[in-house]
Structure 1
Amino acid sequence: MARQISYTYNKQNKVINFSYDKHRDMYEAVAEAEGIDLSRFLAMEQQIAMTAKHSSATKNFRQQEFIRMGFKNIAFVRQEEPSKK
């Protein structure tokens, strides 16, 4: 089953296809879809991961930075399987 991500970027709702073959996570996928270079962001995230006492610090940094970049409501789209009759 194909995966999709829905998100809001600059007040526009969008849906894109997602594959773990191309992206590490949904945040990287939406950034690529909008043409955003994450090289500095990923370097800072790596530094936080090395110095933080809890893994939640990295997750919190990621979420806050993507909000600052203009992203909201980033989530996988739930696909309903057709019922068999």
Structure 2
Amino acid sequence: MAFRIRYQYRKQPKEIGYANDKHHSVYDAVARAEGVDLTEFHRMESQVANVSRNDRKTMKDFREEYFRKLGFSDVTIIREE
């Protein structure tokens, strides 16, 4: 089954295709589509993971807040049938 990601970047609605084998996460896919460098994000994400001891809520909150600051919002996965 194919997936699409619908999101807003700097208040512009956008939609892209998504494949699990090409991207680490949905957020990596949207950042790559917009040409955003995530080197700093991955470094900070690793530190948060080490401190939070795999607390999923902390990781999710960190990820969403970081991408909100980059200008992304309303990131939604859509299944194509």
TM-score, structure 1 normalization: 0.87
Counterpart of 1:40, as a letter, is E
Q: Secondary structure at the match of 2:17?
A: strand
The structure with more radius of gyration: 1
Deviation at 1:40, TM superposition (A): 0.7
The runs of at least 4 aligned residues of structure 1 exceeding 6 Å deviation read: none
Counterpart of 1:71, as a letter, is F
Deviation at 1:47, TM superposition (A): 0.4
Counterpart Cα distance in 1 of 2:38 and 2:24: 12
Count of equivalent residues? 80
Return 5+ residue gaps in structure 1 as ranges: none
Determine what percentage of the aligned residue pairs are the same residue: 43
Return 5+ residue gaps in structure 2 as ranges: none
Structure possessing the higher relative contact order (Cα contacts under 8 Å, 6 or more residues apart): 2
| Match of residue 65 from structure 1 | 66
Give 1 or 2: higher helix fraction.
2
TM-score, structure 2 normalization: 0.91
